């Protein structure tokens, strides 16, 4: 058995950040598992099929370490496989249906988040956003359509400039937007009415893991008494933080920051390229989810509702960590 080429392409696109943004990564992972099920051509043996799907799932899990949306999407689909019974065709159908259901629920969540979030934007607002988040962009566009937003500041988000994607999307919807360097955030914060950002992972205590620079923006907003809203689908909440697991912070290739020639010339200088940072819950005013607008301290209730099956296994002593072999136990 081998991983299908179609799954490898999606996996490498996630790893190389050709596919980026927690929501898009999650939907891509779910799609890849559906494709893997479709491409299965092994023996008509349910156990062999489960091992094949586990192999594909583990490959996808290895692509990006921080964004919890990826493992949550994988576990969502694999949990459906665990609950299914019957022959290979029936298991295959269960995976494909769960894959499409996750994608549909994810897209529907964005619609709800845009409405809930737009309701929180004040009239005639200047909004600041950071990096590229489909959820936060959907809130901003919907609020602009309601006549609430006067202007948006969008950070470049170095080193890969995801903020330019945000700027392009806002311009496509005729939203007035100004691009600024990340380092200018504190300088313009006195003009800003509200900050709207996304999240890659939300911990059980309401702390938000997001693109590097987010915590500095939240600190500048706190200093200026500007409210900070985080727009995030519920699958971005991390169940493992309930049992003390830390969210790993991804470090990427230093050549994303400086040329390789510079590194070779200054080989005694270490170049760090952390991709994410952690914003404490006390610097966040509210988290906008498809279930409504909640304070960061209520994150645990989202986890209890959405990840109850994981918690049950933890209580039964079956999981110290979420492992795919545990998900597929009889």
| Residue 326 annotated as catalytic | no
Strand partners, 294: 287
**How many angstroms separate the Cα of 113 from the Cα of each of 45, 94, 131, 276, 307?**
42, 28, 18, 23, 20
- The three-state secondary structure class of 240 is helix
Residue ranges of alpha helices (H) inside the chain are 5-15, 22-39, 46-61, 69-83, 88-119, 134-145, 163-172, 185-188, 214-223, 260-265, 299-306, 308-315, 324-327
* The one catalytic residue among 5, 200, 253, 326: 200
Strand partners, 251: 274
* The one catalytic residue among 5, 89, 123, 131: 131
Cβ–Cβ under 8 Å, residues 122 and 193: yes
What's the residue count for the chain?
A: 330
| Residue 123 annotated as catalytic | no
Report cis status (omega within 30 of 0) of the bond before 159.
Answer: yes
Show which residues are catalytic.
131, 200
């Amino acid at each position: 058995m081998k991983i299908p080429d179609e799954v490898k392409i999606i996996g490498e696109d996630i790893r190389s950040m050709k596919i980026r943004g927690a929501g898009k990564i999650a939907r891509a992972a779910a799609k890849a598992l559906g494709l893997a099920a479709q491409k299965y051509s092994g023996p008509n043996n349910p156990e062999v099929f489960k091992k094949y799907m586990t192999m594909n799932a583990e490959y996808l899990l290895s692509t990006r370490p921080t964004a919890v949306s990826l493992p949550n999407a994988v576990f969502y689909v694999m949990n459906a496989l665990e609950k299914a019974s019957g022959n290979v065709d029936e298991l295959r159908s269960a995976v494909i249906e769960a894959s499409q259901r996750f994608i549909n629920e994810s897209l529907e969540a964005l619609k709800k988040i845009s409405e809930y979030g737009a309701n929180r934007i004040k009239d005639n607002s200047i909004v600041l956003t950071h990096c590229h988040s489909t959820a936060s962009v959907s809130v901003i566009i919907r609020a602009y359509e309601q006549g609430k937003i006067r202007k948006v500041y969008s950070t470049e988000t170095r080193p890969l400039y995801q903020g330019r994607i945000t700027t392009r999307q806002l311009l496509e919807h005729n939203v007035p937007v100004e691009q600024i360097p990340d380092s200018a955030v504190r300088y313009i914060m006195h003009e800003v009415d509200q900050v709207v950002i996304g999240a890659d992972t939300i911990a059980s205590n309401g702390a938000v893991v997001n693109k590097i620079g987010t915590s500095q923006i939240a600190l500048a907003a706190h200093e200026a008494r500007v409210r900070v809203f985080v727009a995030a689908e519920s699958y971005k909440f991390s169940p493992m933080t309930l049992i003390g697991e830390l969210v790993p912070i991804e470090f990427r290739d230093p050549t994303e920051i400086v040329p390789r020639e510079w590194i070779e010339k200054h080989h005694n200088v270490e170049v760090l390229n952390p991709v994410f940072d952690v914003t404490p819950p006390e610097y966040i005013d509210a988290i906008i989810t498809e279930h409504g607008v909640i304070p960061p301290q209520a994150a645990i209730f989202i986890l209890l509702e959405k990840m109850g099956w994981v918690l049950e296994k933890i209580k039964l002593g079956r999981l110290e960590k979420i492992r795919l072999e545990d998900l597929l136990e009889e």
